[in-house]
């Protein structure tokens, strides 16, 4: 990939993320997450074989067939 293409990609990412950091940014984030959910099967397939053993829904993850996201407060996490 040519260097100028990488610069273009970086500029596009910066523009995309900027809207997520402004007032109303959480709505932009939710819309982006909803779009990811529409292609859940395709994204899981891109990870390769064996994910059904890991994405069982028995622990911290949803099962492999379910797209799930949650909002958390980082202030509530203990380190």
**pLDDT at site 55:** 86
Beta bridge partners of 12: none
Q: What is the pLDDT of residues 9-56, one digit of tens each?
A: 455 555 667 888 889 988 998 998 899 899 999 988 888 888 888 888
For the chain, helix, strand, coil in percent to 5 are 60, 5, 40
CB 20 within 8 A of CB 29: yes
Residue 12 backbone dihedrals phi, psi, to 5 degrees = -65, -40
């Amino acid at each position: 990939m040519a260097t100028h293409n990488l610069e273009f990609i970086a500029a596009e990412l910066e523009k995309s993320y900027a809207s997520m950091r402004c007032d109303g940014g959480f709505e932009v984030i939710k819309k982006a997450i909803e779009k990811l959910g529409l292609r859940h099967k395709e994204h899981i397939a891109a990870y390769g074989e064996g994910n059904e053993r890991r994405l069982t829904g028995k622990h911290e993850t949803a099962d492999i067939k379910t797209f799930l996201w949650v909002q958390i407060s980082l202030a509530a996490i203990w380190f």
